[in-house]
Amino acid sequence: MNVGRFFLCLSGLSICIFASSQLSGCASNSPQKNTANLNNSSDNLSPNLSPNSVDPYEKYNRKVFQFNMDLNKAILKPVVNTYNSILPMTARNGVRNFYGNIMMVPTIGNDALQANFKFMWRDLFRLTVNSTMGFFGLVDVASNIGFGPRTQSFGLTLSKWGIHQSPYVMVPFLGPSTVRGTFGFVPDYFMNPVSYITPTWSYVGVRGLQLLQNASDVLPQEEMMMQMSVDPYVAVRSAYLQNRAYLQKQIMDESSSDEDSDMRPGDQGFNNNLVNNNPTPLDSDSDSSANNPLDMEASLDAEQDQDGSN
């Protein structure tokens, strides 16, 4: 039953990837629109990357982005408003902590796949503390004693082992990601304990509550970004790619230097994306995970914490 659910999701993603590949020729042969926006943003993660290599499927991505925004406005926002009115803030914090604790399992798995054993034991300790002293993760005890949450995904694992750059892609329902991150959904799915819940109606209920909480966290800040941005698509893309670059650097730093062991990567959110392996959505390079201008705020906070400690 779990495998059947997975392949149903995978078939949908395959259609999305196939559609984007069919549109890639149109994107590469069309006039280079919004080149000024691309060059002035931080989307270019390397001096050797051209705008087309960062977002070769922009025509397709913009259509999916608008579809996701319309879906959020028509369906997701009313549902989230009802959820927020029923559940008080304290209860929502408990729900967020609970799912964040569960998502430490794929985090530990990716730590191991990255041969990052120091952080694997650290994250295992966090999971153990919150699962016991924190009443199954409802209370985040570990953060209060210096073991804060970390963001991991198989997309970051692929980056650790050499796939550093990957084209940006907007996934229907899930939000911002990259081609690398989209294929990373497969192992992340199997490392996620929620994927093994049976029967199916129980899985739908548990997963649905997670998505509602993720949406509750993301939508207010997403709306703020939409109002402040001249081009919301470019703003989301820039925030997401900057966050990906920040997380990739953190992963490499963690592996190469013991001095970076106390740094906490920012939450992998924008993964608006509501279905990523984070309590803060939008990172599908979950990503999420996503999916997520939220990530930039968390990333900058982490970077300021690091500067302060130095």
Q: What is the pLDDT of residues 216-239, one digit of tens each?
A: 998 888 888 888 889 999 999 999
More confident residue, 285 or 152: 152
**Furthest CA-CA distance within the chain:** 58
- Give me the numbers of helices (H) and strands (E) for the chain, helices first please: 15, 2
pLDDT at residue 173 is higher than 80: yes
Residue numbers of the domain that contains 255: 2-12+59-309
pLDDT at residue 39 is higher than 50: no
Is residue 225 packed enough to be buried (19+ CB in 10 Å), middle (13-18) or exposed (0-12)?
Answer: middle
Q: What is the Cα–Cα distance from 174 to 177, expressed in whole angstroms?
A: 8
172 Cβ neighbours under 8 A, 6+ residues apart: 12, 16, 64, 67, 68
Interval 133-145: pLDDT, tens: 999 999 999 999 9
pLDDT at residue 192 is higher than 50: yes
* 122: in domain: yes
Rounded to 10 deg, the angle between the 200-228 and 89-102 helix axes is 110
* 82: in domain: yes
* 251: in domain: yes
Is residue 77 packed enough to be buried (19+ CB in 10 Å), middle (13-18) or exposed (0-12)?
Answer: middle
Least confident of 101-110, 177-186, 279-288: 279-288
* 51: in domain: no
* 37: in domain: no
* 29: in domain: no
* 72: in domain: yes
Task: Determine contact, residues 134/142, Cβ cutoff 8 Å.
Answer: yes
Angle at 259 between CA 255 and CA 262, to 5 degrees: 85
Tally the domains of the chain: 1
Pairing of strands 175-178, 168-171: antiparallel
pLDDT at residue 286 is higher than 90: no
Give the number of residues written for the chain: 310
* 155: in domain: yes
pTM beyond 0.75, yes or no: no
Q: What is the Cα–Cα distance from 292 to 29, expressed in whole angstroms?
A: 29
